[in-house]
A and B are shown apart, each in its own frame.
Chain A
Amino acid sequence: MKSDIILAGVGGQGILSIAATIGMAALENDLQLKQSEVHGMSQRGGAVQSHLRISDKSISSDLIPVGKADLIISVEPMEGLRYLSYLTDDGWLVTNSKPFKNIPDYPEIEKLTGSIDKIENHIILDADKIAHKIKSPRSSNMVMLGAASPFVDLPYKSFEVGIEKIFGRKGEQIVKLNLDALKAGREFAEQSVKTELNN
């Protein structure tokens, strides 16, 4: 088993909480893990990415080679496209549709969705809207993780355990909100894909 995942977003959007949760889920299954993060200057509103590699064998590089990522999870519609060259032919792009505009030359949203639609395997969802709907407005990242979870070769239960471990310190209520968000994202993905899913 191996999953090479790229997480994409803008500094401050908290993509590392997604990485940490998947990381916990992987450890839960006794898998090897390498997770490279962006710290420093780009965290000031710049483009950020994280390479997350999980495998049942030992992992060499901390960086995923170009053309080898199985999945890109992007919490912003333009940022996922930035790393397209990393995706394998049959890889998935799971992206939030809500733009984060902090630059003057941000492209028109129709053009972005046009580019996303051209990718064979993709899911696009308004994670912020879904999070609001389930009254968990600050859990859009976990909605994203839920939507991406079918494409990571781990049992759904492990993601739940991951959330319990990562958010446990913050109390039961927060854990529940994030679990709800995970579920809402997962359901969205399952509905929009007719493919056979694991579990």
Chain B
Amino acid sequence: MEKLLLLGDEAVSQGAIDAGMSGMYAYPGTPSTEIMEYVQRSKTARDRNIHRQWSANEKTAMEASLGMSYAGKRSMVAMKHVGLNVAADVFMNAAVTGVNGGLLVAVADDPSMHSSQNEQDSRYYGRFALVPILEPSNQQEAYDMSYEGMDFSEKYNLPVMIRLTTRLSHSRSGVKTKEIKDEKEISYPADPIQFVLLPSNARKKYKILLDKLTELRKISDDSKYNTYFDGEDKSLGIIACGIGFNYFMENFPDGICPYPVLKIGQYPLPTKMVQEIDGECEKLLVIEEGYPMVEELLRGFLNKEKRILGRLDGTIPRAGELNPNIIAAALGKGNGKTLQVPDIVANRPPQFCSGCSHKDVYEALNETMKLFGSDQRVFSDIGCYTLGALSPYKSIHTCVDMGASITMAKGAADAGVRPAVAVIGDSTFTHSGITGLLDAVNENSQITVIISDNSTVGMTGGQPSSALGKLENICVGIGVDPDHVRVVTPLRKYHEEIVDVLNEEIQYEGVSVVIPSRECIQTLTRKKKKT
């Protein structure tokens, strides 16, 4: 046993490594990125040669993870909440097939959207797929749940979701580790058609999944992660999920709370425990990070008794991350007088690094678009280059989901928009842009795609890009005319040339791709420091 100082993300990684994981798969995304990065740095992972390479996207990552599970070995896949949308197809179906080797799905949600497009709550996906969800309240639980989750997954033959949120993902604390287990040997599933979801078999497998639910509820009642703390004052009962429990307890510094509290760390909800607190208390306050999922379940559509308090009745704000002060207010405790932040303090939003290649791309793009009239719109995507939507550039007008720039430009071109231009990053392109470009090629849509290639996954800290050195070949390979795949170097001194190339390609009546290519200034500086 060792004591380590770990981020919540890292505790999940260490737990899986110690549980004998043979492979880790992921696509980067805040706040989940450190789960894979920790495995990549781990000496044990290196010694054991645990698989630890980034995948092209979350779907390919989860499928590979399932493949390793099929082979009888333990694996984990990690992603941010919106990544689970991309992997949803395999996720939903893997619940029906079940697993062979243990399979952990670690998903990190981002309430308050610190680095995300939305604040969707992954517990809904877990519930939707009918798989067990573990939600740690601290770093030690994150470790334990990951370590024990592998056994749990194998015992019930199901993928197990571990749900984190930003604060726990990125907060560090002491973690005691357990004995490291051996990896599993290769062994095929005993039933050769376990993974064959032809309707006749899928119906059987789905029935089995439904039957397991009853058992999972029972296990939840006995789980050490669901705990009932009794209290004298029954006017209010507290149901606190995940790190919501910490924010609640922060309001009782001596650790003594007058109300009965049910702490939830494992779903489906423990039936008996919920019935007990419901029977004991006049009202229930539900504290959960993310959407009001538990609250909605308990309250029901008609909400006749109006006894359930939380985000839906306004006791807690409907959106955004929790904190101790929000819970204090919900409990009717004042937060006292605080010092005023002076008005002169200005906002400091994230911005392009000095020397960033995307800046040169936008300088050229803005000049080019002006040639086509005053109100021009450009479709774009998610990455560092999305900062081009802000002042001073204001070059792009959409950022929806990975890959949408190309397909939205195509749809707009179909509607008659000229010019229809998309700006996408190299990693976003290989994540989800290629198939959209194929659609455009197949219809010879009149679009121009700018792949702003900084040769890394910049936004999430400079991970290697799956696209590295492959962009031109991919575009030509799926049928873009090689004469209209143009590579330029985004530097100030080539500004005129880039404007000319963009202008020519935008006027071309078909699919054209312009690839401004220059390495990210951050990864470049890091490399220089090393040598």
Chain A residues at the B interface, C-beta cutoff of 8 Å? 10-11, 23, 27, 32-47, 51, 58-63, 65-67, 78-79, 81-87, 102-103, 105-107, 111-112, 115, 119
Contact = CB atoms under 8 A, between A and B. Distances in A.
Interface in B154-193: 167-168, 170-174
Given A34-B172, A46-B351, A81-B345, 12 more contacts: A10-B348, A36-B171, A40-B460, A44-B350, A47-B347, A60-B250, A62-B246, A66-B335, A67-B337, A83-B341, A84-B341, A102-B348
Contact of A65 (B114, B173, B323, B459): B323
Contacts of A107: 344-346
A52 B255 CA distance: 20
B324 A85 contact: no
A62 B345 contact: no
Pairs A-B, 9 closest by C-beta atoms:
A40-B115, A40-B30, A46-B350, A36-B171, A61-B250, A62-B171, A44-B350, A41-B115, A65-B324
Contacts of B170: 36-39
Interface in B327-355: 328, 335-342, 344-353
Question: Which residue, of A32, A59, A62, A111, has the highest number of chain B Cβ atoms within 10 A?
Answer: A62
B384 interface: yes
Contact of A45 (B324, B339, B350, B461): B350
A82 B343 CA distance: 10
Nearest to B8: A62
A44 B171 contact: no
A79 B460 CA distance: 23
A51 B328 CA distance: 19
B325 interface: yes
Given A61-B250, A62-B167, A107-B344, A41 B243 contact: no
B221 interface: no
A44 B114 CA distance: 13
Interface in B230-261: 243, 246-247, 249-250, 255
A44 B353 contact: yes
A67 B335 CA distance: 8
B167 A27 contact: no
B34 interface: yes
Nearest to A36: B171
A61 B323 CA distance: 8
A135 to B, nearest CB: 21
Contacts of A84: 338-342
A38 B348 CA distance: 14
A96 B339 CA distance: 20
Contacts of A82: 341, 345
A118 B14 CA distance: 47
A65 B340 CA distance: 15
B339 A63 contact: no
24 contacts: A33-B173, A35-B172, A35-B173, A36-B170, A36-B172, A37-B171, A39-B33, A40-B115, A43-B461, A44-B351, A44-B352, A47-B348, A61-B323, A62-B168, A62-B171, A62-B173, A63-B324, A66-B338, A78-B345, A82-B341, A83-B341, A84-B340, A106-B346, A119-B339
B208 interface: no
B446 to A, nearest CB: 34
Interface of B: 5, 7, 30-31, 33-34, 114-115, 167-168, 170-174, 243, 246-247, 249-250, 255, 323-325, 328, 335-342, 344-353, 384, 387, 459-461
A39 B323 contact: no
B230 to A, nearest CB: 19
Nearest to A46: B350
A65 B30 contact: no
A65 B171 contact: no
Contacts of B459: 40-41
Nearest to B113: A41
A65 B339 contact: no
Nearest to A85: B338
Nearest to A59: B173
Given A35-B172, A39-B33, A45-B350, A81 B341 contact: yes
Contacts of B172: 23, 33-37
A51 B247 CA distance: 14
Nearest to B328: A65
Contact of B167 (A45, A63, A78): A63
B438 to A, nearest CB: 30
Contact of A60 (B114, B246, B338, B341): B246
B430 to A, nearest CB: 21
A59 B328 CA distance: 17
A45 B349 CA distance: 7
Given A62-B167, A65-B325, A45 B174 contact: no
Contacts of A103: 346-349
Contacts of A11: 350
A2 to B, nearest CB: 9
A186 to B, nearest CB: 25
Contacts of B247: 60-61, 63
Nearest to A118: B342
Contacts of A39: 30-31, 33-34, 115, 170, 461
B349 to A, nearest CB: 6
A178 to B, nearest CB: 18
A100 to B, nearest CB: 9
Contacts of A83: 341
A84 B337 CA distance: 12
Given A32-B174, A62-B243, A85-B339, A45 B353 contact: yes
Contacts of A102: 348, 351
A60 B249 contact: yes
Most chain-B CB neighbours within 10 Å: which of A32, A84, A106?
A84
B171 A41 contact: no
Contacts of B33: 39
Contacts of B346: 78, 103, 105-107
Contact of B350 (A42, A67, A78, A86): A42
B353 A42 contact: no
Given A39-B34, A41-B459, A85-B339, A46 B348 contact: yes
A44 B358 CA distance: 14
Contacts of B387: 44
Contact of B171 (A35, A45, A46, A79): A35
A72 to B, nearest CB: 10
Given A36-B171, A60-B250, A42 B342 contact: no
